[in-house]
Homo-oligomer: A and B are copies of this chain.
Amino acid sequence: MKYNFGAGPGILPHEVLKQAAEAVIDFNRTGLSLLEISHRSPEFEAVLDEAVSLVKELFGVPEGYSVLFLQGGASTQFALAPYNLLPEGGKAAYLESGVWANKALKEAKFFGDVEVVATSKESNFTYIPKDYTIPADAAYFHITSNNTIYGTQMQEFPKSPIPLVCDMSSDIFSRTVNVADFGLIYAGAQKNMGPAGVTLVIVKDDLLGKTGRKIPAMLNYQVQIEGGSMYNTPPCFAIYVSMLTLKWLKAKGGVPAIEVENNEKAKALYAEIDINPLFKAVAKDEDRSRMNVCFVAENPEHEKPFLKLCDEKGIVGLKGHRSVGGFRASIYNALPLSSVNVLIDTMQEFAEKNK
């Protein structure tokens, strides 16, 4: 038995993996693999339609928004957001809350001016910058809802006079969000939604077509909307597994139900980190992520033996990102509370042994 705390591609529900494996051999008793059927077949079109419907239903996507399944990861959206939303000669505002936010704003510079309204770079991104003014003359304000590497998360979203653009790669579907507050939401699937290879984009339709820019087809949200995410062959298998994961989430009671579980998991783990004399949390208290729990050993010499003990217990993926060090427990939707309890027990056992 493995307890998968990896930061991503991350844990998926066991029943989803079972169905996905079956579909690789024989999809819906068609006698064909899902990997070798046409994306224009009624069987696959039903998969894509269901995936879109589930996103709309589970995330409460209002009228006037389009839901797309694209390729290229969030890193491609770093470029497509300004390509599609930033007018020629215009300006975009960015909140620099981590290295992914930094990569996003660098891509925007290919398309116009960038104003960084605030940064927490000086503290190695251990907190979410607050107390900033969003420039009303910018085309949009870009934020990162959860910073996987540093274990920080926006507990609430800023009120913005301009459209909010949000990279939700590492906490989408983990908590209720008012989609109407956003102009554009995007997320690589491989943390909370499915496998690597597909990216969810939720875009407010009336923001499009206003840049004065000509955009190649595959990079153009409008073209992708018109093609229903099938301007060309989509990543069928990754969409299918995402659909299964969304179905699993729905059966669990949807986003509000998983949010309760996620809060329980995070609360239990942070409580142990705070009480255990051998460990301490990395992120500022008020900005602690409920998806990626970053912590370090008070005594650096404890790092290796603790990882060794975790390994013996079947706990995998716990090593922190190289830029932060220590440990990172990613406790995505599919990770059960029981796995968090195994980690907590292991921390306690380690503390006992090292008294």
A273 at the interface (CB under 8 A from B): no
Complex interface bits, A66-104 against B, C-beta within 8 A gives 1, otherwise 0:
000001111110110001000000000000000000010
**Chain B residue, CB-CB nearest to A11:** B36
A236 at the interface (CB under 8 A from B): yes
B18 to A35, Cβ gap below 8 A?
A: no
B32 to A25, Cβ gap below 8 A?
A: no
A271 at the interface (CB under 8 A from B): no
Contact of A216 among B110, B188, B317 (CB under 8 A): B110
A228 at the interface (CB under 8 A from B): no
- How would you classify the secondary structure of chain A's contact residues: helix, strand, loop or mixed? loop
Chain A interface residue count: which class? 35 or more
A38 at the interface (CB under 8 A from B): yes
B17 to A33, Cβ gap below 8 A?
A: yes
Min CB distance, A128 to chain B, in Å?
23
A181 at the interface (CB under 8 A from B): no
CA distance A234 to B217 in the complex (A): 22
B196 to A8, Cβ gap below 8 A?
A: no
B21 to A25, Cβ gap below 8 A?
A: yes
CB within 8 Å of B: which residues of A?
1-2, 4, 6-12, 17-18, 20-22, 24-25, 30-33, 35-39, 71-76, 78-79, 83, 103, 106-107, 110, 188, 190, 194-198, 214-219, 231-238, 241, 314, 316-317
A196 to B24, Cβ gap below 8 A?
A: no
Q: Which B residues are CB-close (under 8 A) to A39?
A: 9, 196
Once A197-B235, A232-B73 are accepted as A-B contacts, the answer to whether A6 and B38 lie under 8 Å apart by CB is: yes
Q: Which B residues are CB-close (under 8 A) to A217?
A: 75, 78-79, 103, 106-107
Once A12-B36, A35-B195, A316-B32 are accepted as A-B contacts, the answer to whether A238 and B241 lie under 8 Å apart by CB is: no
CA distance A238 to B24 in the complex (A): 12
